[in-house]
């Protein structure tokens, strides 16, 4: 990969942002009827002293350099049209060092935003992409930018997970930076953040939360698996908890598109926009009314997967013209949906559901651009052993011509310098086991995932959740719930109803024992304060609402319920 391309990767990585996080401290839980402990609610406090003087007081933090503390006035940040209250912004870094591998300076850069009027809670915001940027520490409360943790009074931490985005994926040549990105930055940051809060407010966080989307969802899964004693609530979106495998699956897809591309320089020509729109329409024609109403949303997506296939798409009898797929295309593209496999046919990643998102811009970005520029850089430089040379690495060549089997071997390999494989440091250990330490602490997990997510398959998350349920006597709903969002792409957007505050119900569940019921999401049509979603169809009302149903239930239309209005959640129930 050229330096120019590395910079491009860095710029793109900086664009792919993430979500939330939270955290709290002592486990003063008491048993309840269902034998799960009930954690006590957080209590409010005020920032002690002057924000500008806080930096000096924080000089006692181990392995930490505080670079500034300054007050941010009410309204300097906003969310969904509301002023974020005044808070103290603290910036710093941990474990600054010079790499003996590449000579670059590494540190875990971070910021903490401390409300002057604090709700007693800590939120650890995990970020997206390949990290490398201290994204503003607001702690997204769910998809659609309706609220955030800082607005709600949490103290919020954000970090770059141990490297600068200026390096792009080349940070992966440093073995410590690899591990920090994987999970050790969170281990180093967590006790520091709790002590910082203790100094700032005169008490540590009563309750701690952790969250994020995409790679931030991956961090969330790693955190509840690796350090379950540190956090009380988790909010994971589009969790890329098998990120290196998902990236190789995406490269597997790129090679398939390339094989039927009319322009070999543009893999998007293997599955054009008109063809993708035609497939989305064909999917809707078969699956839209499975949930009781033709409304542009396929709520019953699992039945859809068993019902729809490329057999339902016209086969071209002449040249491809956007109204059909050629036989060669159907053969080449079907495995992208049925699940990536090795050269001997062994599956290594989940299938992807057929849904409306195949027509979206999100799909084009993740399927045609990301494998060549993002995923290949991750495999070659961040996860693979041996590591590629950043000076000569050619991501496009690896993506289009590399051996999938060799890539899988590389992310599972170690050597004297890179002693932990990416298949270990990127991925939560004991994946699919019962998570008894989380459950028995009284902690709660909420996960959301777009059915149309083109990079991390909702089916992978469903498999995780089904394993979790099986390992909890068939039912994990007393501490973990999964919400699938039809039509939603990666973290938000798409032909979807994608705006909901999940943090408030998570806190209610963790601290008051009130399990989330009757959650409602809203579309971001014209005038939405969280930011309009341009993919909301004109035929929908701007604020179309839908119940957000815990898996395995789905929202079904019930003409006898409510007003029968197709635009209203009242006309649907989770079944
Ligand atoms: Ca429908």
SS3 125: strand
Distance 296 CA to ligand 1 centre (A): 6
Is residue 142 reached through a cis peptide bond, with omega within 30 degrees of 0 on the bond before it? no
- Taking residues 17-43, report their average pLDDT: 59
The residues, any chain, with a CB within 8 Å of residue 93's CB and separated by 6 or more, are 64, 65, 67, 107, 108, 109, 110
Catalytic site includes residue 453: yes
Domains in the chain (CATH in brackets) are 3-242+429-505 (3.40.50), 245-418 (no CATH)
Length of the chain: 575
Q: How far apart are CA 390 and CA 365, in angstroms?
A: 24
- Taking residues 277-297, report their average pLDDT: 97
Distance 454 CA to ligand 1 centre (A): 20
> What pLDDT sits at residue 432?
64
Distance 557 CA to ligand 1 centre (A): 8
> What pLDDT sits at residue 335?
97
Q: Which residues is 485 bridged to in the sheet?
A: 450
Distance 160 CA to ligand 1 centre (A): 40
Number of H helices, E strands in the chain: 18, 20
> What pLDDT sits at residue 116?
98
Distance 351 CA to ligand 1 centre (A): 22
> What pLDDT sits at residue 560?
73
Kindly indicate the confidence band of residue 467, based on its pLDDT and cuts at 50, 70 and 90.
Answer: very high
Distance 299 CA to ligand 1 centre (A): 6
Q: How far apart are CA 263 and CA 268, in angstroms?
A: 8
- The sign one gets for the Cα dihedral 212, 215, 217, 221 is negative
pLDDT tens digit sequence for 341-388: 999 999 999 999 999 999 999 999 999 999 999 999 999 999 999 999
Burial of 143 (0-12, 13-18, 19+ CB in 10 A): buried
Cβ atoms of 61 and 196 closer than 8 Å: yes
Q: Is the pLDDT of residue 23 over 50?
A: no
Tokens 């509301």 label which residue?
82
Burial of 196 (0-12, 13-18, 19+ CB in 10 A): buried
Higher-pLDDT residue of 256 and 12 is 256
Q: How far apart are CA 519 and CA 509, in angstroms?
A: 13
Token duo for residue 458:
């909702």
The string of DSSP letters for 515-560 reads: ---S-EEE---TT-TT---TTS-TTS-TT-EEE-PBTT--EEE-TT
Q: Is the pLDDT of residue 12 over 60?
A: no
Distance 550 CA to ligand 1 centre (A): 17
Catalytic site includes residue 87: no
pLDDT tens digit sequence for 196-238: 999 999 999 999 999 999 999 999 999 999 999 999 999 999 9
- Find the range with the poorest average confidence among 258-262, 557-561, 568-572: 557-561
Distance 268 CA to ligand 1 centre (A): 29
- Cβ count within 10 A of residue 544: 24
Distance 290 CA to ligand 1 centre (A): 6
- Report the run of H or E that residue 156 belongs to, with start and end: strand 155-159
Q: Is the pLDDT of residue 117 over 90?
A: yes
Q: Is the pLDDT of residue 516 over 70?
A: yes
Distance 496 CA to ligand 1 centre (A): 11
From the candidates 147, 158, 208, 214, which is the catalytic residue? 214
Burial of 321 (0-12, 13-18, 19+ CB in 10 A): exposed
Q: What is the mean pLDDT of the chain?
A: 93
Strands 480-485 and 444-450 turn out to be parallel
pTM of the model: 0.94
Side-chain half-sphere exposure of 428, counting CA atoms within 13 A = 25
The residues, any chain, with a CB within 8 Å of residue 355's CB and separated by 6 or more, are 280, 283, 298, 301, 304, 451, 452, 486, 487
DSSP H stretches of helix in 419-499: 422-425, 436-441, 458-470
Kindly indicate the confidence band of residue 1, based on its pLDDT and cuts at 50, 70 and 90.
Answer: very low
pLDDT tens digit sequence for 32-84: 445 799 999 999 999 999 999 999 999 999 999 999 999 999 999 999 999 99
From the candidates 291, 367, 453, 498, which is the catalytic residue? 453
Q: How far apart are CA 175 and CA 383, in angstroms?
A: 10
Q: Is the pLDDT of residue 161 over 80?
A: yes
Kindly indicate the confidence band of residue 546, based on its pLDDT and cuts at 50, 70 and 90.
Answer: very high
Distance 477 CA to ligand 1 centre (A): 26
**For 63, which DSSP code?**
T
Distance 546 CA to ligand 1 centre (A): 11
Distance 298 CA to ligand 1 centre (A): 5
Distance 451 CA to ligand 1 centre (A): 13
- Cβ count within 10 A of residue 11: 12
Strands 121-125 and 21-23 turn out to be antiparallel
The residues, any chain, with a CB within 8 Å of residue 416's CB and separated by 6 or more, are none
Q: Which residues is 484 bridged to in the sheet?
A: 449
Distance 537 CA to ligand 1 centre (A): 14
**For 353, which DSSP code?**
-
pLDDT tens digit sequence for 405-452: 999 999 999 999 999 999 999 999 976 678 999 999 999 999 999 999
- Beta-carbon neighbours within 5 Å of ion ligand 1: 288, 291, 295, 297
Neighbour-count burial for 266-283, b at 16+ CB within 10 Å, e otherwise:
ebebbbbeebbebbbebb
From the candidates 87, 163, 449, 490, which is the catalytic residue? 490
> What pLDDT sits at residue 205?
98
**Three-class DSSP labels, 259-320:** HCCCCCCCHHHHCCHHHHHHHHHHHHHHHHHHHCCCCCCCCCHHHHHHHCCHHHCCECCCCC
- Taking residues 469-498, report their average pLDDT: 97
């Amino acid at each position: 990969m050229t330096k120019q391309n590395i910079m491009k990767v860095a710029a793109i990585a900086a664009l792919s942002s993430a979500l939330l996080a939270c955290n709290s401290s002592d486990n003063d839980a008491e048993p309840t009827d269902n034998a799960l402990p009930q954690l006590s609610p957080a209590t409010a406090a005020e920032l002690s002293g002057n924000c500008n003087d806080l930096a000096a007081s924080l000089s006692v933090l181990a392995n930490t350099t505080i670079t500034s503390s300054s007050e941010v006035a009410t309204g300097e940040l906003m969310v969904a049209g509301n002023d974020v209250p005044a808070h103290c912004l603290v910036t710093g870094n941990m474990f600054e060092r010079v790499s003996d591998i590449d000579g670059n300076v590494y540190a875990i850069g971070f910021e903490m935003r401390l409300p002057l009027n604090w709700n007693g809670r800590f939120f650890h915001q995990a970020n997206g992409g390949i990290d490398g940027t201290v994204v503003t520490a607001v702690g997204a409360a769910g998809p659609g930018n309706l609220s955030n943790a800082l607005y709600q009074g949490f103290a919020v931490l954000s970090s770059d997970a141990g490297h600068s985005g200026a390096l792009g994926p080349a940070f992966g040549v440093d073995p410590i930076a690899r591990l920090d990105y994987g999970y050790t930055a969170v281990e180093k940051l967590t006790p520091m953040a709790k002590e910082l809060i203790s100094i700032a407010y005169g008490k540590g966080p009563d309750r701690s939360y952790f969250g994020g989307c995409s790679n931030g969802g991956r961090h969330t899964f790693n955190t509840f698996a690796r350090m379950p004693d540190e956090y009380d609530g988790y909010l994971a979106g589009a969790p890329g908890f098998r990120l290196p495998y998902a990236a190789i699956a995406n490269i597997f897809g790129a090679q398939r598109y390339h094989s039927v591309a009319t322009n070999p320089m543009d893999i998007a020509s293997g599955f054009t926009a008109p063809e993708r729109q035609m497939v989305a329409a064909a999917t809707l024609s078969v699956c839209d009314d499975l949930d009781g109403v033709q409304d542009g949303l396929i709520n019953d997506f699992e039945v859809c997967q068993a019902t729809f296939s490329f057999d339902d798409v016209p086969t071209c009898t002449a040249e491809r013209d956007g109204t059909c797929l050629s036989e060669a295309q159907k053969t080449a593209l079907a495995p992208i949906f049925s699940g990536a496999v090795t050269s001997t046919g062994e599956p290594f990643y989940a299938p992807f559901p057929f849904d409306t998102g195949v027509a979206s811009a999100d799909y084009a970005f993740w399927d045609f651009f990301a494998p060549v520029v993002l995923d290949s850089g991750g495999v070659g430089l961040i996860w693979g052993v041996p590591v590629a040379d950043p000076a000569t690495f050619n991501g496009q060549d690896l993506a289009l011509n590399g051996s999938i089997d060799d890539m899988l071997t590389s992310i599972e390999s170690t050597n004297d310098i890179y002693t932990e494989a990416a298949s270990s440091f990127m991925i939560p250990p004991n994946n699919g086991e019962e998570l008894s330490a989380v459950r028995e602490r009284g902690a709660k997990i909420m996960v959301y995932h777009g059915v149309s997510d083109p990079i991390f398959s909702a089916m992978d998350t469903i498999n995780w959740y089904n394993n979790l349920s099986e390992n909890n006597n068939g039912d994990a709903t007393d501490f973990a719930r999964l919400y699938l969002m039809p039509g939603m792409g990666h973290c938000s957007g798409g032909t979807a109803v994608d705006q909901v505050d999940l943090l408030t119900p998570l806190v209610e569940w963790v601290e008051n024992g009130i399990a989330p019921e009757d959650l409602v999401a809203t579309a971001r049509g014209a005038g939405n304060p969280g930011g309009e979603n341009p993919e909301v169809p004109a035929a929908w009302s701007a604020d179309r609402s839908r119940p957000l149903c815990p898996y395995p239930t789905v929202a079904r239309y019930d003409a006898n319920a409510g007003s029968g209005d197709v635009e209203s959640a009242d006309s649907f129930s989770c079944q």
